[in-house]
Amino acid sequence: MEPAAAIDTIVRELRSEPSIRALFLGGSYGAGLQDAYSDIDFVMVASDGPSDDVAALWKKAVGRTGKIVLWWDRQVRPSLVNAITRDWLRTDVVILKPDQMAGHAKDSLKVLFDHDGIFATLPESLPPTGPDPKRARYQFEEFIRILGLLPLALGREEYLNGVLGVFLLRNLLIDLMIGETGAPHRGGVLHLNRLITGEQKQVLTSLPLPSPERQALIDAHLLYAEAYLPRARRLARLWGVEWPAEFEAATWEHLAATLAIRPPGSAD
């Protein structure tokens, strides 16, 4: 079923249910950024929140759009239900009580029905939250920690795990780049193209996808460190986050002692 028809089907199924007070489109559809590949995110307001009865009503409504082949009922988060139908229509719903809508704004929702006028009480938009210093510090430390695990992977000849380490470094670099751009409406993991700049894409394209070989893994770890660490230090200064300098210094000492490698750009 096409998304527009699926949305209409779900609305018809739920509009007259007394316990369902409002239904909105969220995510890409709510912000007007959807494309042919977007899943459909809903925000449902139910009198009793994400109860079993409400989840059952939602399952019945989604079932009208096609045979459900994947059903995650409040597994990822207590208020979230994920579904995929046989033709791979993807729907997510967050089920909230009326007093839990304060974290939403008009510019990120589209009204499907709203019996109690909840939408009118919401702000036009939410103020920018800015970076989370605690999360940023964790991610800086996590990059350095993964870098410091390289001697372990090589010492055990766990080269496949070494490849995994490079991909973890890559994901942290991508997240850092998104932080640099400060793009609104981040969306899901498959929306990277609109979240980073051309220069950032070139950097990512130039970095290797490693093979499970000792020297290839060393080279890849160093190249990702060269791409990540200067950017991270700059953002740490900009965001007022204390840089984990002692941890970084200890890690490079560890890498020098175990693998005889130095920080990128240092003198031989």
Show the tokens assigned to 53.
Answer: 């009865």
- Asked if residue 25 is part of any domain, the answer here is yes
What is the domain range of residue 108?
Answer: 3-121
- Asked if residue 264 is part of any domain, the answer here is no
- Asked if residue 126 is part of any domain, the answer here is no
The total number of structural domains in the chain stands at 2
CB of 20 closer than 8 Å to CB of 54: yes
Show the tokens assigned to 254.
Answer: 């560890």
Closest CA to 67 of 43, 84, 90: 84
CA atoms within 13 A on the CB side of 53: 8
Could you list the pLDDT tens digit for every one of the 268 residues in the chain?
Answer: 899 999 999 999 999 999 999 999 998 899 888 888 889 999 999 999 999 999 999 999 999 999 999 999 988 889 999 999 999 999 999 999 999 998 899 999 999 999 999 999 999 988 877 788 999 999 999 999 999 999 999 999 999 989 999 999 999 998 898 888 766 555 555 566 667 778 888 888 899 888 899 999 999 999 999 999 999 999 999 999 999 999 999 999 999 999 999 998 765 4
Q: Are strands 40-46 and 68-73 parallel, antiparallel or unpaired?
A: unpaired
Q: Which of 72, 93, 121 delimits the end of a domain?
A: 121
d(CA 131, CA 124): 21
d(CA 258, CA 163): 19
**Ranges of H-type helices in the chain:** 3-14, 27-31, 52-63, 133-148, 150-155, 159-181, 198-206, 214-239, 245-259
Q: What is the CATH number of the domain that holds 137?
A: 1.20.120
